[in-house]
Amino acid sequence: MSDERKVQEVLARYVRTTDRRDGKSHGALYTEDATVHVFIKTGHKSGHDAYEAVGEPIIGASGVEYAMDNFMAPHPEGGSSHHVTSDHLIEVDGDQAHMNAQFVVFEVRAASRPAAGWPEDAFGIQGTVRPIESGYYDTDLRRVDGEWKIVRHRVLHDMPYVFPGA
C-alpha cells in the first residue's frame, strides 16, 4: 500500500472511532506530543477563509483519548453519527506527511419500532439522516515505528462551535 493511501487510512480510522466514541482507539492514532486545535470560520480575508480558535488545544494521545471519552456527547438511543470525508490532498515527504480533506458529519436517528409492530404500509428505512457539521481537516502526520500517526490536527468548522459552559 502506498504511503498516501496509508495516510488516508488514518483519517478513515479517525472518523470511525469518532462515530463510535471510542476514545482508546482514537487516541492511538496520535503521537504523545500531538496537538488538536478546533477553529470556526469567521469570514474571508484577502481571498482566504479566516478562522478563530475555539477553546484550548488538546495535547497528546492521552489527552485526545480523555477528550473523546469525557467531552463528546454520547449518542441517544437509536442515534449515531456518520462522518464522510472527501477530496483528500496528501503530500508525503519521507517520514512526514500533510493531509487536507473536506468533511461532513451526519446525524443518524433510527425510528423506534412501535410496540404493535410497523404499520402495514411501512416500507424501507425508518428514521432520519441530516447533515450537522462541515469543514476541513488539516492534519500533519509522522511515521513512528513504521506507522503513520497524527502530530498536528486542525478541525476547521464552517459554522460556530460552542462548548458547554463557554
Number of domains in the chain: 1
Task: Report d(CA 111, CA 143) in Å as an integer.
Answer: 43
CA distance 119 to 90: 49
Question: With contact defined as beta carbons under 8 Å apart, do 132 and 1 qualify?
Answer: no
**Residue 79 belongs to some domain of the structure:** yes
In a domain, 165, yes or no: no
In a domain, 163, yes or no: no
User: DSSP characters for 61-95?
Assistant: HHHHHHHHHHHSPPPPTTEEEEEEEEEEEEEEETT
Give one word for 71, left, alpha or beta, with left for phi > 0 and alpha for psi -120 to 50. Answer: alpha
Residue 166 has pLDDT above 70, yes or no: no
**What is the per-residue pLDDT across 110-147, written as a single tens digit (0 to 9) for each?**
999 999 999 999 999 999 999 999 999 999 999 999 99
Residue-wise pLDDT tens digits, 100-118: 999 999 999 999 999 999 9
Per-residue confidence (pLDDT) for residue 138, from 0 to 100: 98
Evaluate whether residue 38 is within a structural domain.
yes
Place 160 in a pLDDT band, splitting at 50, 70 and 90: confident
- 28 within domain boundaries: yes
Q: Which residues pair with 91 in a beta bridge?
A: 98
Domain with 13 in it: what CATH number? 3.10.450.50
Q: Is 119 among the domain residues?
A: no
- Domain range holding 56? 3-112+126-157
Backbone angles phi, psi at 24, to 5 degrees: -60, -50
Cβ atoms of 88 and 103 within 8 Å: the answer is: no
Global pTM value: 0.90
Flag whether 25 is in a domain: yes
Q: Give a yes or no: residue 48 inside a domain.
A: yes
